[in-house]
């Protein structure tokens, strides 16, 4: 028993070392990729449950490394956050997405919103607000076409400072979305205290919504509260037509998910918009 115990400890520390080495490799590859401009941004449409019209896109960063292959943001974003690389990377994603949205407006899709994920590390920067405003001014995107997505787990610790910055952004006309609602330490109090416009219901809530009454009552109750607070509600991870129908009845305003489209490279957005209009009309 003693031996196996020691063995376990050895394995444990070896795993830890492996993780540290892996993270260091990931970080050095990510730094290189950033310098070589090897990151890209994909865009996933959000459509209105009511009429199926495209209302916006969420920008999602993508990276395929020459040595590591495709790396999921769930793997590299935490490493970028720990190292601070998320600050320049996040600003680059924001600028790229704003340029894309401004271009879309020129091509006739002027009423769509661009949603961009913001890390807590970015929000904590003292110059976060002026940097965002500077990017808007430079790209010419109207402030009310931009939505920044934040998560409540990021608010822990520096709530007052975060609220101050979010209020400044809102005053400029930028929309704020609370992302991943229903995961982690979700609290209804955040819905009341955070200056947000939009609530994004996590995929975990959505998966069973067409099969289980309990999932359905959660979604409809949260939607009602959100609407009372004048927030709009987005359902994430919608994969089936049956979910759309139920979510529409439960009061969700927008849906986002593979059922409508996977995240798309910029050069496929126009073709998607044309094909979606056909599908909607037909
Ligand atoms: P998120 O913000 O919750 O983004 C939604 C994720 O769900 C995306 O994964 C998207 O591709 C995926 N998704 C969308 N529809 C469906 C569906 O119908 N089914 C399934 N199974 N998945 C769906 P992705 O792109 O891998 O991003 C993962 C997470 O990484 C994001 O979760 C976000 O937290 C983070 N992330 C991505 N891009 C950025 C970024 O530019 N900045 C920051 N700070 N975080 C980012
Ligand atoms: Ca998001
Ligand atoms: Ca989310
Ligand atoms: Ca997520």
pLDDT tens-place string over residues 208-229: 999 999 999 999 999 999 999 9
For residue 1, the model assigns a pLDDT of 42
Mean of pLDDT values over 152-181 = 89
For residue 108, the model assigns a pLDDT of 78
Query: What is the per-residue burial (b if ≥16 Cβ within 10 Å, else e) of 92-116?
Result: bbbbbbbbbbbbbbeeebeebbbbb
Q: Is the pLDDT of residue 10 over 80?
A: no
Looking at the CA of 181, which ligand is closest? 3
Whether the model clears a pTM of 0.90, i.e. scores above it, the answer is yes
Listed range (8-17, 55-64, 65-74, 147-156) with the worst mean pLDDT: 8-17
- Cβ–Cβ < 8 Å for 76, 63: yes
The tokens 């950033």 sit on which residue? 34
Atom of ligand 1 nearest to the CA of 259: 18
Atom of ligand 1 nearest to the CA of 81: 44
Q: Is the pLDDT of residue 199 over 80?
A: yes
- Confidence band of 105 (pLDDT split at 50, 70, 90): confident
For residue 186, the model assigns a pLDDT of 63
Cβ partners under 8 Å of residue 183, min gap 6: 202, 204
Listed range (179-183, 213-217, 252-256) with the worst mean pLDDT: 179-183
Atom of ligand 1 nearest to the CA of 119: 44
Q: Near ion ligand 4, which residues have CB within 5 Å?
A: 180
- Confidence band of 193 (pLDDT split at 50, 70, 90): confident
ipTM (interface predicted TM): 0.98
- Cβ–Cβ < 8 Å for 20, 62: no
DSSP 171: H
What gap in Å lies between CA 87 and CA 230, rounded to an integer? 31
Q: Near ion ligand 3, which residues have CB within 5 Å?
A: 179-180, 236
DSSP 142: -
Which residue's CA is the closest to the ligand 1 atom numbered 7? 237
Residue 234 is inside which H or E element, if any? strand 232-235
């Amino acid at each position: 028993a003693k031996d196996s115990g020691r063995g376990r400890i050895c394995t444990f520390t070896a795993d830890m070392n492996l993780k540290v080495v892996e993270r260091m490799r990931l970080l050095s590859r990510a730094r290189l990729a950033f310098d070589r401009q090897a990151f890209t941004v994909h865009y996933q449409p959000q459509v209105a449950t009511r009429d199926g019209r495209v209302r916006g896109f969420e920008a999602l960063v993508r990276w395929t490394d020459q040595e590591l292959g495709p790396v999921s943001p769930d793997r590299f974003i935490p490493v970028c956050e720990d190292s601070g690389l998320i600050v320049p990377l996040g600003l680059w994603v924001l600028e790229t997405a704003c340029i894309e949205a401004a271009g879309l407006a020129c091509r006739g899709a002027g009423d769509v919103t661009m949603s961009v994920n913001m890390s807590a590390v970015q929000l904590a920067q003292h110059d976060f607000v002026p940097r965002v405003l500077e990017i808007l001014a430079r790209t010419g995107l109207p402030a009310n076409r931009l939505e920044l997505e934040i998560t409540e787990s990021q608010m822990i610790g520096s709530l007052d400072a975060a609220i101050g910055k979010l209020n400044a952004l809102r005053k400029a006309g930028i929309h704020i979305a609370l992302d991943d609602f229903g995961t982690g330490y979700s609290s209804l109090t955040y819905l009341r205290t955070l200056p947000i416009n939009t609530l994004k219901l996590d995929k975990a809530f959505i998966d069973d919504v067409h099969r289980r009454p309990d999932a359905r009552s959660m979604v409809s109750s949260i939607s009602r509260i959100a609407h009372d607070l004048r927030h709009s509600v987005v359902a994430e991870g919608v994969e089936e037509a049956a979910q759309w129908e139920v979510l529409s009845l439960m009061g969700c305003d927008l849906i986002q998910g593979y059922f409508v489209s996977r995240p798309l490279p910029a050069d496929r957005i126009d073709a998607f918009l044309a094909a979606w209009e056909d599908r909607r009309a037909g």
